[in-house]
Chains A and B, each alone.
Chain A
Protein backbone atom coordinates (compact mmCIF):
# COMPACT_ATOMS: atom_id res chain seq x y z
CA UNK A 1 0.00 0.00 0.00
CA UNK A 2 2.83 2.40 0.87
CA UNK A 3 4.39 2.12 -2.57
CA UNK A 4 1.07 3.17 -4.15
CA UNK A 5 0.87 6.15 -1.81
CA UNK A 6 4.38 7.29 -2.86
CA UNK A 7 3.35 7.45 -6.50
CA UNK A 8 -0.03 9.07 -5.78
CA UNK A 9 1.70 11.79 -3.77
CA UNK A 10 4.34 12.32 -6.47
CA UNK A 11 1.77 12.51 -9.26
CA UNK A 12 -0.34 15.00 -7.26
CA UNK A 13 2.78 17.08 -6.53
CA UNK A 14 3.81 17.28 -10.16
CA UNK A 15 0.27 18.08 -11.35
CA UNK A 16 0.37 21.10 -9.03
CA UNK A 17 3.97 21.86 -10.03
CA UNK A 18 3.00 21.92 -13.69
CA UNK A 19 0.14 24.29 -12.81
CA UNK A 20 2.49 26.95 -11.46
CA UNK A 21 3.60 29.93 -13.52
CA UNK A 22 7.18 29.04 -12.57
CA UNK A 23 6.88 25.89 -14.69
CA UNK A 24 6.44 28.10 -17.77
CA UNK A 25 10.09 29.09 -17.42
CA UNK A 26 11.27 25.48 -17.63
CA UNK A 27 11.26 25.19 -21.38
CA UNK A 28 13.45 24.80 -24.41
CA UNK A 29 11.94 26.53 -27.44
CA UNK A 30 8.56 26.69 -25.64
CA UNK A 31 8.52 22.93 -25.08
CA UNK A 32 8.16 21.79 -21.46
CA UNK A 33 9.04 18.42 -19.94
CA UNK A 34 6.12 16.37 -18.66
CA UNK A 35 6.93 15.21 -15.13
CA UNK A 36 3.49 13.64 -14.69
CA UNK A 37 3.98 11.21 -17.56
CA UNK A 38 7.43 10.31 -16.24
CA UNK A 39 6.12 9.46 -12.75
CA UNK A 40 3.09 7.64 -14.16
CA UNK A 41 5.28 5.55 -16.46
CA UNK A 42 7.71 4.66 -13.67
CA UNK A 43 4.74 3.74 -11.46
CA UNK A 44 3.22 1.49 -14.14
CA UNK A 45 6.64 -0.02 -14.87
CA UNK A 46 7.17 -0.97 -11.23
CA UNK A 47 3.61 -1.75 -10.13
CA UNK A 48 2.10 -3.43 -13.16
CA UNK A 49 -0.63 -2.78 -15.70
CA UNK A 50 -3.64 -2.84 -13.35
CA UNK A 51 -2.21 -0.15 -11.08
CA UNK A 52 -0.84 1.70 -14.09
CA UNK A 53 -4.13 1.95 -15.94
CA UNK A 54 -6.13 2.97 -12.85
CA UNK A 55 -3.57 5.59 -11.90
CA UNK A 56 -3.47 6.72 -15.51
CA UNK A 57 -7.24 7.08 -15.71
CA UNK A 58 -7.44 9.05 -12.45
CA UNK A 59 -4.48 11.25 -13.36
CA UNK A 60 -5.84 11.94 -16.82
CA UNK A 61 -9.30 12.77 -15.53
CA UNK A 62 -7.91 15.23 -12.98
CA UNK A 63 -5.79 16.87 -15.66
CA UNK A 64 -8.82 17.13 -17.95
CA UNK A 65 -10.87 18.81 -15.22
CA UNK A 66 -8.07 21.24 -14.31
CA UNK A 67 -7.28 22.02 -17.95
CA UNK A 68 -10.88 22.67 -18.91
CA UNK A 69 -10.36 20.88 -22.20
CA UNK A 70 -12.11 17.87 -23.72
CA UNK A 71 -13.13 15.71 -20.78
CA UNK A 72 -11.80 12.21 -21.15
CA UNK A 73 -8.97 12.88 -23.61
CA UNK A 74 -6.15 12.69 -21.08
CA UNK A 75 -7.98 9.98 -19.15
CA UNK A 76 -8.03 7.83 -22.29
CA UNK A 77 -4.42 8.59 -23.20
CA UNK A 78 -2.96 8.01 -19.75
CA UNK A 79 -5.01 4.82 -19.25
CA UNK A 80 -3.54 3.36 -22.44
CA UNK A 81 -0.04 4.46 -21.42
CA UNK A 82 -0.40 3.06 -17.89
CA UNK A 83 -1.64 -0.26 -19.25
CA UNK A 84 0.97 -0.48 -21.99
CA UNK A 85 3.92 0.37 -19.77
CA UNK A 86 2.67 -2.07 -17.13
CA UNK A 87 2.56 -4.86 -19.71
CA UNK A 88 6.10 -4.03 -20.88
CA UNK A 89 7.29 -3.89 -17.27
CA UNK A 90 5.87 -7.35 -16.69
CA UNK A 91 7.83 -8.76 -19.63
CA UNK A 92 11.19 -7.29 -18.62
CA UNK A 93 13.32 -8.87 -15.94
CA UNK A 94 14.85 -6.42 -13.50
CA UNK A 95 14.36 -2.68 -13.14
CA UNK A 96 17.03 -1.16 -15.33
CA UNK A 97 17.27 2.61 -15.49
CA UNK A 98 18.30 2.50 -19.15
CA UNK A 99 15.14 0.63 -20.06
CA UNK A 100 13.12 3.32 -18.26
CA UNK A 101 14.83 6.05 -20.27
CA UNK A 102 14.19 4.34 -23.61
CA UNK A 103 10.64 3.56 -22.57
CA UNK A 104 9.95 7.22 -21.73
CA UNK A 105 11.00 8.27 -25.21
CA UNK A 106 8.36 6.06 -26.82
CA UNK A 107 5.79 6.79 -24.11
CA UNK A 108 6.08 10.53 -24.83
CA UNK A 109 5.65 9.96 -28.55
CA UNK A 110 2.64 7.74 -27.84
CA UNK A 111 1.15 10.43 -25.60
CA UNK A 112 1.57 13.05 -28.30
CA UNK A 113 0.12 10.81 -30.99
CA UNK A 114 -2.91 9.78 -28.94
CA UNK A 115 -3.70 13.31 -27.73
CA UNK A 116 -3.35 14.73 -31.25
CA UNK A 117 -5.43 12.00 -32.88
CA UNK A 118 -8.29 12.18 -30.39
CA UNK A 119 -8.36 15.98 -30.36
CA UNK A 120 -8.33 16.00 -34.17
CA UNK A 121 -11.36 13.69 -34.20
CA UNK A 122 -13.40 15.25 -31.42
CA UNK A 123 -12.30 18.88 -31.71
CA UNK A 124 -10.38 20.64 -34.49
CA UNK A 125 -8.46 18.69 -37.18
CA UNK A 126 -5.59 21.14 -36.73
CA UNK A 127 -4.76 19.62 -33.35
CA UNK A 128 -2.95 16.83 -35.16
CA UNK A 129 -0.16 19.28 -35.79
CA UNK A 130 0.88 18.84 -32.16
CA UNK A 131 2.34 15.46 -33.14
CA UNK A 132 3.13 15.91 -36.80
CA UNK A 133 5.06 19.13 -36.33
CA UNK A 134 7.73 17.41 -34.29
CA UNK A 135 7.74 19.40 -31.03
CA UNK A 136 6.87 16.17 -29.26
CA UNK A 137 10.31 14.77 -30.12
CA UNK A 138 11.99 17.55 -28.16
CA UNK A 139 9.65 16.84 -25.25
CA UNK A 140 10.56 13.14 -25.50
CA UNK A 141 14.26 13.96 -25.26
CA UNK A 142 13.68 16.22 -22.27
CA UNK A 143 11.62 13.54 -20.54
CA UNK A 144 14.36 10.98 -21.15
CA UNK A 145 16.94 13.26 -19.55
CA UNK A 146 14.78 13.75 -16.47
CA UNK A 147 13.87 10.07 -16.12
CA UNK A 148 17.25 8.99 -14.76
CA UNK A 149 17.37 11.28 -11.70
CA UNK A 150 13.66 10.82 -10.99
CA UNK A 151 13.91 7.03 -11.28
CA UNK A 152 16.88 7.03 -8.91
CA UNK A 153 15.08 9.23 -6.36
CA UNK A 154 11.89 7.16 -6.52
CA UNK A 155 13.77 3.87 -6.03
CA UNK A 156 15.58 5.31 -2.98
CA UNK A 157 12.36 6.65 -1.45
CA UNK A 158 10.53 3.40 -2.16
CA UNK A 159 13.30 1.41 -0.49
CA UNK A 160 13.27 3.65 2.58
CA UNK A 161 9.48 3.59 2.93
CA UNK A 162 9.03 -0.14 2.40
CA UNK A 163 11.87 -1.22 4.70
Chain B
Protein backbone atom coordinates (compact mmCIF):
# COMPACT_ATOMS: atom_id res chain seq x y z
CA UNK B 1 0.00 0.00 0.00
CA UNK B 2 1.45 3.38 -0.97
CA UNK B 3 2.35 6.06 1.54
CA UNK B 4 -0.35 8.38 0.19
CA UNK B 5 -3.01 5.69 0.58
CA UNK B 6 -1.90 4.94 4.14
CA UNK B 7 -2.00 8.65 4.99
CA UNK B 8 -5.47 8.99 3.43
CA UNK B 9 -6.80 5.97 5.35
CA UNK B 10 -5.35 7.33 8.59
CA UNK B 11 -7.03 10.69 7.99
CA UNK B 12 -10.38 9.04 7.40
CA UNK B 13 -9.99 6.86 10.49
CA UNK B 14 -9.22 9.93 12.60
CA UNK B 15 -12.23 11.71 11.08
CA UNK B 16 -14.55 8.80 11.94
CA UNK B 17 -13.16 8.67 15.47
CA UNK B 18 -13.60 12.43 16.05
CA UNK B 19 -17.14 12.41 14.64
CA UNK B 20 -18.01 9.40 16.79
CA UNK B 21 -16.72 11.15 19.90
CA UNK B 22 -18.74 14.27 18.98
CA UNK B 23 -21.90 12.21 18.52
CA UNK B 24 -21.41 10.43 21.82
CA UNK B 25 -20.88 13.76 23.58
CA UNK B 26 -24.09 15.11 22.04
CA UNK B 27 -25.98 11.97 22.96
CA UNK B 28 -24.98 12.06 26.62
CA UNK B 29 -24.92 15.85 26.86
CA UNK B 30 -27.49 15.95 29.64
CA UNK B 31 -26.06 13.14 31.76
CA UNK B 32 -24.63 14.02 35.17
CA UNK B 33 -21.14 12.91 34.19
CA UNK B 34 -21.10 15.09 31.06
CA UNK B 35 -22.51 18.07 32.92
CA UNK B 36 -19.83 17.62 35.56
CA UNK B 37 -17.18 17.34 32.84
CA UNK B 38 -18.47 20.53 31.20
CA UNK B 39 -18.37 22.35 34.51
CA UNK B 40 -14.82 21.21 35.24
CA UNK B 41 -13.64 21.98 31.72
CA UNK B 42 -15.21 25.43 31.93
CA UNK B 43 -13.51 25.99 35.27
CA UNK B 44 -10.17 25.27 33.59
CA UNK B 45 -10.84 27.40 30.50
CA UNK B 46 -12.47 30.35 32.25
CA UNK B 47 -9.20 31.90 33.57
CA UNK B 48 -7.78 31.88 30.04
CA UNK B 49 -11.00 33.35 28.65
CA UNK B 50 -11.02 35.98 31.38
CA UNK B 51 -7.41 37.03 30.77
CA UNK B 52 -7.84 36.99 27.00
CA UNK B 53 -11.07 38.97 27.07
CA UNK B 54 -9.78 41.50 29.58
CA UNK B 55 -6.58 42.05 27.55
CA UNK B 56 -8.52 42.73 24.37
CA UNK B 57 -11.00 44.92 26.22
CA UNK B 58 -8.11 46.88 27.76
CA UNK B 59 -6.67 47.68 24.34
CA UNK B 60 -10.07 48.66 23.02
CA UNK B 61 -10.76 50.84 26.08
CA UNK B 62 -7.42 52.60 25.70
CA UNK B 63 -8.33 53.79 22.23
CA UNK B 64 -11.89 54.73 23.08
CA UNK B 65 -11.07 56.49 26.37
CA UNK B 66 -11.05 59.98 24.88
CA UNK B 67 -14.58 59.73 23.52
CA UNK B 68 -15.64 57.89 26.68
CA UNK B 69 -14.45 60.80 28.80
CA UNK B 70 -16.76 63.22 27.04
CA UNK B 71 -19.68 60.79 27.22
CA UNK B 72 -19.05 60.12 30.89
CA UNK B 73 -19.26 63.81 31.72
CA UNK B 74 -22.61 64.03 29.95
CA UNK B 75 -23.88 60.88 31.67
CA UNK B 76 -22.75 62.21 35.05
CA UNK B 77 -24.83 65.34 34.61
CA UNK B 78 -27.88 63.24 33.63
CA UNK B 79 -27.39 60.82 36.52
CA UNK B 80 -27.18 63.68 39.01
CA UNK B 81 -30.55 64.96 37.80
CA UNK B 82 -32.04 61.45 38.04
CA UNK B 83 -30.66 61.03 41.56
CA UNK B 84 -32.46 64.16 42.70
CA UNK B 85 -35.71 62.78 41.26
CA UNK B 86 -35.14 59.40 42.94
CA UNK B 87 -34.53 61.01 46.29
CA UNK B 88 -37.86 62.77 46.02
CA UNK B 89 -39.59 59.56 44.90
CA UNK B 90 -37.96 57.48 47.64
CA UNK B 91 -39.80 59.32 50.38
CA UNK B 92 -43.14 58.87 48.61
CA UNK B 93 -42.36 55.18 47.99
CA UNK B 94 -41.59 54.55 51.67
CA UNK B 95 -44.90 56.12 52.64
CA UNK B 96 -46.86 54.04 50.15
CA UNK B 97 -45.02 50.86 51.20
CA UNK B 98 -45.83 51.44 54.85
CA UNK B 99 -49.48 52.04 54.01
CA UNK B 100 -49.55 48.90 51.82
CA UNK B 101 -48.13 46.72 54.59
CA UNK B 102 -50.57 48.15 57.08
CA UNK B 103 -53.52 47.40 54.81
CA UNK B 104 -52.21 43.90 54.03
CA UNK B 105 -51.94 43.08 57.72
CA UNK B 106 -55.47 44.37 58.23
CA UNK B 107 -56.90 41.94 55.68
CA UNK B 108 -54.56 39.09 56.69
CA UNK B 109 -52.44 38.87 53.53
CA UNK B 110 -48.87 37.74 54.12
CA UNK B 111 -46.41 40.25 52.71
CA UNK B 112 -44.01 39.08 49.99
CA UNK B 113 -40.42 38.59 50.90
CA UNK B 114 -37.92 41.02 49.48
CA UNK B 115 -35.00 39.09 48.06
CA UNK B 116 -31.39 40.07 48.37
CA UNK B 117 -29.38 40.74 45.25
CA UNK B 118 -25.75 40.48 44.25
CA UNK B 119 -24.52 42.89 41.60
CA UNK B 120 -22.35 41.31 38.93
CA UNK B 121 -20.52 42.52 35.87
CA UNK B 122 -20.70 40.72 32.54
CA UNK B 123 -17.14 39.81 31.65
CA UNK B 124 -17.60 37.56 28.61
CA UNK B 125 -20.20 36.04 26.33
CA UNK B 126 -20.47 32.95 24.19
CA UNK B 127 -17.86 33.11 21.40
CA UNK B 128 -20.43 31.83 18.95
CA UNK B 129 -23.65 33.53 17.84
CA UNK B 130 -25.55 30.24 18.03
CA UNK B 131 -25.73 30.50 21.80
CA UNK B 132 -26.16 33.74 23.76
CA UNK B 133 -24.85 32.75 27.19
CA UNK B 134 -23.30 35.48 29.35
CA UNK B 135 -20.52 35.12 31.92
CA UNK B 136 -20.45 37.18 35.12
CA UNK B 137 -17.71 37.74 37.66
CA UNK B 138 -19.61 36.35 40.66
CA UNK B 139 -19.68 32.70 41.67
CA UNK B 140 -19.97 30.36 44.61
CA UNK B 141 -17.73 32.60 46.69
CA UNK B 142 -20.43 35.30 46.45
CA UNK B 143 -23.25 32.92 47.38
CA UNK B 144 -24.44 32.34 43.81
CA UNK B 145 -26.23 29.07 43.12
CA UNK B 146 -27.56 27.39 40.04
CA UNK B 147 -30.98 28.52 38.77
CA UNK B 148 -30.90 31.84 40.57
CA UNK B 149 -32.79 34.47 38.57
CA UNK B 150 -30.91 37.39 37.03
CA UNK B 151 -32.33 40.85 36.36
CA UNK B 152 -31.04 44.21 35.18
CA UNK B 153 -32.32 47.77 35.09
CA UNK B 154 -33.43 49.18 31.75
CA UNK B 155 -35.25 52.50 31.48
CA UNK B 156 -35.48 52.56 35.28
CA UNK B 157 -37.41 49.27 35.38
CA UNK B 158 -36.22 45.96 36.80
CA UNK B 159 -36.28 43.47 33.88
CA UNK B 160 -35.60 39.79 33.47
CA UNK B 161 -32.23 38.86 31.95
CA UNK B 162 -32.20 35.09 32.49
CA UNK B 163 -31.10 32.51 35.02
CA UNK B 164 -27.83 31.08 36.28
CA UNK B 165 -27.10 27.71 34.66
CA UNK B 166 -23.53 27.05 35.72
CA UNK B 167 -21.53 28.26 38.70
CA UNK B 168 -17.81 28.20 39.34
CA UNK B 169 -15.94 29.56 42.33
CA UNK B 170 -15.59 33.09 40.96
CA UNK B 171 -17.80 33.12 37.89
CA UNK B 172 -21.20 32.02 36.70
CA UNK B 173 -22.92 31.56 33.39
CA UNK B 174 -26.31 33.03 32.57
CA UNK B 175 -28.79 31.53 30.14
CA UNK B 176 -30.63 34.58 28.76
CA UNK B 177 -34.39 34.52 28.34
CA UNK B 178 -33.96 34.83 24.56
CA UNK B 179 -32.23 31.41 24.41
CA UNK B 180 -34.37 28.80 22.71
CA UNK B 181 -33.93 26.43 25.65
CA UNK B 182 -35.25 29.03 28.09
CA UNK B 183 -38.82 28.67 29.38
CA UNK B 184 -40.25 31.19 31.86
CA UNK B 185 -43.67 31.34 33.48
CA UNK B 186 -45.09 34.68 32.37
CA UNK B 187 -48.35 36.61 32.45
CA UNK B 188 -49.91 39.71 30.95
CA UNK B 189 -49.55 42.48 33.51
CA UNK B 190 -52.99 44.00 33.00
CA UNK B 191 -55.28 41.03 32.39
CA UNK B 192 -53.20 38.56 34.50
CA UNK B 193 -53.64 35.75 31.95
CA UNK B 194 -50.62 33.47 32.15
CA UNK B 195 -48.56 31.64 29.58
CA UNK B 196 -45.10 30.22 28.97
CA UNK B 197 -42.40 32.36 27.43
CA UNK B 198 -39.83 30.65 25.22
CA UNK B 199 -36.76 32.26 23.67
CA UNK B 200 -36.19 32.16 19.89
CA UNK B 201 -32.43 32.73 19.61
CA UNK B 202 -30.47 32.27 17.35
CA UNK B 203 -33.28 33.02 14.92
CA UNK B 204 -34.54 36.13 16.64
CA UNK B 205 -34.20 38.11 19.87
CA UNK B 206 -37.98 38.24 20.22
CA UNK B 207 -39.56 35.67 22.56
CA UNK B 208 -42.69 33.59 22.00
CA UNK B 209 -45.43 33.69 24.64
CA UNK B 210 -47.43 30.49 24.27
CA UNK B 211 -50.49 28.84 25.83
CA UNK B 212 -52.29 32.10 26.57
CA UNK B 213 -56.00 31.63 27.16
CA UNK B 214 -57.91 32.51 24.01
CA UNK B 215 -60.17 34.81 26.00
CA UNK B 216 -57.31 37.15 26.83
CA UNK B 217 -57.47 40.48 25.04
CA UNK B 218 -53.91 41.20 23.98
CA UNK B 219 -52.77 44.31 22.21
CA UNK B 220 -49.53 45.78 20.94
CA UNK B 221 -47.46 47.28 23.75
CA UNK B 222 -48.99 45.28 26.61
CA UNK B 223 -46.44 44.52 29.29
CA UNK B 224 -45.51 40.93 30.13
CA UNK B 225 -44.20 40.05 33.60
CA UNK B 226 -43.09 36.90 35.40
CA UNK B 227 -45.93 34.86 36.87
CA UNK B 228 -43.92 33.32 39.70
CA UNK B 229 -44.80 29.82 38.50
CA UNK B 230 -41.89 27.51 37.76
CA UNK B 231 -40.02 28.10 40.97
CA UNK B 232 -37.24 30.29 39.57
CA UNK B 233 -38.41 33.87 39.06
CA UNK B 234 -40.28 35.87 41.68
CA UNK B 235 -43.62 37.19 40.52
CA UNK B 236 -44.03 40.54 38.86
CA UNK B 237 -40.67 41.23 37.22
CA UNK B 238 -41.00 42.89 33.83
CA UNK B 239 -40.02 40.80 30.83
CA UNK B 240 -41.01 42.82 27.79
CA UNK B 241 -43.75 44.17 25.55
CA UNK B 242 -46.13 42.48 23.15
CA UNK B 243 -45.16 43.18 19.52
CA UNK B 244 -47.56 40.87 17.71
CA UNK B 245 -50.43 38.46 18.42
CA UNK B 246 -51.35 35.23 16.68
CA UNK B 247 -54.85 33.87 17.23
CA UNK B 248 -55.92 30.96 15.07
CA UNK B 249 -59.55 30.32 14.19
CA UNK B 250 -59.46 27.10 16.21
CA UNK B 251 -57.76 25.96 19.42
CA UNK B 252 -58.02 27.05 23.05
CA UNK B 253 -54.79 29.06 23.16
CA UNK B 254 -53.24 31.99 21.39
CA UNK B 255 -49.63 33.11 21.02
CA UNK B 256 -47.85 36.42 21.04
CA UNK B 257 -44.37 37.70 20.35
CA UNK B 258 -42.67 39.57 23.18
CA UNK B 259 -39.81 42.02 22.71
CA UNK B 260 -37.66 41.84 25.86
CA UNK B 261 -37.02 45.24 27.40
CA UNK B 262 -33.39 44.31 28.03
CA UNK B 263 -31.02 45.15 25.16
CA UNK B 264 -28.74 42.10 25.18
CA UNK B 265 -26.28 43.81 22.88
CA UNK B 266 -25.46 46.50 25.45
CA UNK B 267 -25.95 44.93 28.83
CA UNK B 268 -23.03 45.35 31.24
CA UNK B 269 -24.20 44.97 34.84
CA UNK B 270 -26.79 42.59 36.23
CA UNK B 271 -28.34 41.77 39.60
CA UNK B 272 -28.51 38.15 40.67
CA UNK B 273 -31.47 37.56 42.97
CA UNK B 274 -30.25 35.37 45.78
CA UNK B 275 -33.40 33.32 45.91
CA UNK B 276 -32.84 29.58 45.74
CA UNK B 277 -35.05 27.59 43.38
CA UNK B 278 -38.03 25.99 45.12
CA UNK B 279 -38.04 22.34 46.26
CA UNK B 280 -40.12 21.15 43.29
CA UNK B 281 -37.57 22.59 40.92
CA UNK B 282 -34.73 20.79 42.73
CA UNK B 283 -36.51 17.45 42.33
CA UNK B 284 -36.99 18.08 38.61
CA UNK B 285 -33.28 18.87 38.28
CA UNK B 286 -32.22 15.64 40.01
CA UNK B 287 -34.40 13.62 37.59
Contacts and interface: CB of A to CB of B under 8 A. Distances in A.
Interface in A27-63: 27, 30-32, 34, 36, 49-50, 53-54, 57, 60, 62-63
Interface residues of A, number: 55
Contacts of A17: 52, 56
Contacts of B60: 20, 22
A68 B34 CA distance: 12
A53 B25 contact: no
Given A62-B45, A66-B127, A124 B181 contact: yes
Contacts of B55: 16
Interface residues of B, number: 53
Given A17-B56, A66-B42, A126 B25 contact: no
A23 B60 CA distance: 11
B219 interface: no
A65 interface: yes
A25 B265 contact: yes
Interface string A61-75: 011011111111111
A38 B46 CA distance: 24
Q: Is the interface of A mostly helix, strand, loop or mixed?
A: helix
B47 to A, nearest CB: 12
Contact of A71 (B7, B25, B129): B25
A71 B25 CA distance: 6
Given A22-B60, A126-B203, A130-B202, A72 B127 contact: no
Given A19-B52, A19-B126, A75-B21, 7 more contacts: A20-B60, A50-B10, A66-B49, A67-B126, A72-B23, A123-B181, A127-B180
14 contacts: A16-B56, A18-B128, A19-B49, A20-B56, A24-B125, A30-B265, A34-B128, A49-B15, A66-B49, A68-B166, A72-B23, A118-B26, A126-B203, A130-B203
Interface of A: 12-13, 15-25, 27, 30-32, 34, 36, 49-50, 53-54, 57, 60, 62-63, 65-76, 79-80, 83, 115, 118-119, 122-124, 126-127, 129-130, 133, 135, 139
